[in-house]
A and B are shown apart, each in its own frame.
Chain A
Amino acid sequence: MAVNRIVVLLTFIFLFGLLAAAQAEDKAASGLIWILPDAGDIKTLKPEDSAQQAKKDGLYDLINGGASVYLSNGFKQAILQDYRSATGTLFNLEVYELDSTVNAKKVFALKGGDSAKPSVIGQSSILEDYYGLFLQGSYYISITASETTKESQELIKQIAKATIKKIQTKGPNPPAKK
């Protein structure tokens, strides 16, 4: 009886391990797709085309000369996704994963200068008329809008919140549940 229980337990652990490994593999294969807000998170936004992703030197093909800032600061991977609002405004979400929180801070500082403030959205943020920059762990997030309106500024915040929530719940080392 006891042997049976051990066998069942070991089988369970083995299957759980396989599942976890498969999930990790899927996550690695899909890059940073998991970080994007889910459909319906922001009801007035629809994704425009599929997401674009890059790892290492592939970033140059995606954003050309601007890649240097990231490549020289521990760039791991990036995902770019456009969204269109119901009123036609185009939003561009870019998330860059660096190899450490230190390098993410460095990139955030390089891109945002010294105007960052402690923020309720992410660990640091800069909100300007048509864009927002955010820092969360080893991720640097940039969101821009093609128009500058109160609606677009609000949507920038919503995109940021949804993205950061994903990092906090599905990213590396999510906080332990209380």
Chain B
Amino acid sequence: MMDKKMNRRTFVKKSAKATTALAGLTLMPGLLSVPALAAEGTPDISVVTGTDFYKATIQAVENLGGMGRFVSKGDNVGLLANIFSKKPGTYTRPDVMLAVAHLCYEAGAEQVYCMKNEGKRYWRRSQVSEQHAELIARLKPDGSDHKEVQIPGAKVLKDPAILEGTFKHDKLISIPIIKNHSGVQMTCTLKNMMGLTSFGTNIKFHLGEKYVQTLVKELGNFFSDMDHFSQSVADLNKVRKVDLYVVDATEFITTNGPTGPGKMSRPNQIVAGTDPVAIDSFCCAYLDLEPEKIGMIVKAQQDGLGKMDLTNLNISKSTI
């Protein structure tokens, strides 16, 4: 275990210069899919099955080389989880969020911020939260306002309003739940980025330029332009590099998404990785979908955000 830690530290130090060099290029769309440098043999995607969701999350990140690969000492880290839906199978479990936060602090993070915050209403949904009261007390809400920005390389998404914290934090970790979505069929890593945008911007995803003209009249056709929506999601994912994705695939709805209630699936799995396109493609199987038929995945690959082809990826699967 000690050797493993030493190797990781050495690896982090050695890769620090390369990472710094890449950091300046992260706003270039073509380079967004470049993951943190991984040691040889490290899986591209880690899948851990277990009913102790906290431990399964820890293991999933450990399998990728540990949080030290993604978070450095003194970093401010933003965690973007899907927390606002309240029905079972529609939100990221607090257990998963807490495990990621714990790992961030263990790796030396200065401060961990919740990009979305519901306070105790959210934490109370898991009995595990009581055991982690101190950790919860250390977390801070991001609390920033939305700010209009231009995304380099965006094709259709004009001037989205995005939480300012998105650009302030040293690291960003996305922690979505995989679930059905009646409009775009699934939500996972790519769509989770919509948690950073304002209501007005999300309407633009649905309606494009029509928004400016006839907002209310067009609301009836909320999912009428999925091509525009899919490209908007791809565009949004160019806004900044997400350092790590941890997907809650423990319990989720397979119908009537995104808010449910709907039919429930319980694979009890956590999926982690650094390529959102690969992860979403992998997660399609949970919903019996084909990635080639999911517009946002196809467009994200076309825009250089990652790879859909899983055949040459190292996918580690383990059970705890």
In the complex the two chains form, what is the Cα distance from A88 to B129 in whole Å?
14
Output the least CB separation between B199 and chain A (Å): 4
Cβ contacts A111-154/B at 8 Å (1 or 0 each)? 10100000000000000101101000000001011100000000
Contact between B222 and A72 (Cβ–Cβ < 8 Å)? Answer: yes
Contact between B261 and A144 (Cβ–Cβ < 8 Å)? Answer: yes
Tell me, yes or no, whether B210 is within 8 Å of chain A by CB: no
Contact between A88 and B261 (Cβ–Cβ < 8 Å)? Answer: no
In the complex the two chains form, what is the Cα distance from A88 to B181 in whole Å?
29
Which residues of the other chain, A, contact B256 by a CB distance below 8 angstroms?
111, 113
Which residues of the other chain, B, contact A52 by a CB distance below 8 angstroms?
121
Contact between B222 and A144 (Cβ–Cβ < 8 Å)? Answer: no
Tell me, yes or no, whether B37 is within 8 Å of chain A by CB: no
Which residues of the other chain, A, contact B125 by a CB distance below 8 angstroms?
90, 146
Tell me, yes or no, whether B258 is within 8 Å of chain A by CB: yes
Contact between B121 and A66 (Cβ–Cβ < 8 Å)? Answer: no
Interface size counted on chain B using CB atoms at 8 A = 34
B147-186 interface (Cβ within 8 A of A): 181-183
Contact between B222 and A130 (Cβ–Cβ < 8 Å)? Answer: no
Q: A66-B259, A90-B125 are in contact. Are A144 and B85 (CB under 8 A)?
A: no
Tell me, yes or no, whether B194 is within 8 Å of chain A by CB: yes
In the complex the two chains form, what is the Cα distance from A90 to B91 in whole Å?
14
Q: A49-B121, A82-B86, A131-B261 are in contact. Are A65 and B127 (CB under 8 A)?
A: no
Contact between A64 and B220 (Cβ–Cβ < 8 Å)? Answer: no
Output the least CB separation between A67 and chain B (Å): 8
B66-102 interface (Cβ within 8 A of A): 82, 84-88, 90
B45-77 interface (Cβ within 8 A of A): none
Which residues of the other chain, B, contact A131 by a CB distance below 8 angstroms?
87, 260-261
Output the least CB separation between B128 and chain A (Å): 13
Which residues of the other chain, A, contact B195 by a CB distance below 8 angstroms?
64
In the complex the two chains form, what is the Cα distance from A146 to B125 in whole Å?
9
Number of contacts between A and B (CB, 8 Å)?
A: 76
Tell me, yes or no, whether A99 is within 8 Å of chain B by CB: no
Chain B residue nearest to A70 in the complex (CB): B259
Tell me, yes or no, whether B202 is within 8 Å of chain A by CB: yes
Q: Which residue of B84, B187, B261 is within 8 Å of A128 (Cβ)?
A: B261
Which residues of the other chain, B, contact A69 by a CB distance below 8 angstroms?
182, 222, 259
Interface size counted on chain A using CB atoms at 8 A = 31
Contact between B260 and A144 (Cβ–Cβ < 8 Å)? Answer: yes
Q: Which residue of A48, A49, A62 is within 8 Å of B84 (Cβ)?
A: A62
Tell me, yes or no, whether A71 is within 8 Å of chain B by CB: yes
Contact between A88 and B199 (Cβ–Cβ < 8 Å)? Answer: no
B121-155 interface (Cβ within 8 A of A): 121, 124-125, 127
In the complex the two chains form, what is the Cα distance from A72 to B223 in whole Å?
11
Tell me, yes or no, whether B120 is within 8 Å of chain A by CB: yes
Output the least CB separation between A108 and chain B (Å): 12
Which residues of the other chain, A, contact B221 by a CB distance below 8 angstroms?
72
Tell me, yes or no, whether A11 is within 8 Å of chain B by CB: no
B251-300 interface (Cβ within 8 A of A): 255-261, 264
Tell me, yes or no, whether A15 is within 8 Å of chain B by CB: no
Which residues of the other chain, A, contact B219 by a CB distance below 8 angstroms?
68, 71-72
Contact between B87 and A144 (Cβ–Cβ < 8 Å)? Answer: yes
Q: A60-B202, A72-B219, A72-B222 are in contact. Are A142 and B84 (CB under 8 A)?
A: no
Tell me, yes or no, whether A97 is within 8 Å of chain B by CB: no
Tell me, yes or no, whether A79 is within 8 Å of chain B by CB: no
A45-103 interface (Cβ within 8 A of B): 48-49, 52, 57, 60-66, 68-69, 71-72, 80, 82, 88, 90, 92, 94
Which residues of the other chain, A, contact B124 by a CB distance below 8 angstroms?
48-49, 82, 90
Chain A residue nearest to B84 in the complex (CB): A64
Tell me, yes or no, whether B238 is within 8 Å of chain A by CB: no
Contact between A66 and B120 (Cβ–Cβ < 8 Å)? Answer: no
In the complex the two chains form, what is the Cα distance from A63 to B264 in whole Å?
19
Contact between B264 and A66 (Cβ–Cβ < 8 Å)? Answer: no
In the complex the two chains form, what is the Cα distance from A142 to B120 in whole Å?
22
Output the least CB separation between B298 and chain A (Å): 20
4 tightest A-B CB contacts, nearest first: A66-B259, A131-B261, A72-B219, A60-B199
Which residues of A are interface residues toward B (Cβ below 8 A)? 48-49, 52, 57, 60-66, 68-69, 71-72, 80, 82, 88, 90, 92, 94, 111, 113, 128, 130-131, 133, 142, 144-146
7 A-B pairs with C-beta separation under 8 A? A65-B194, A66-B90, A66-B259, A72-B221, A80-B86, A92-B87, A142-B87
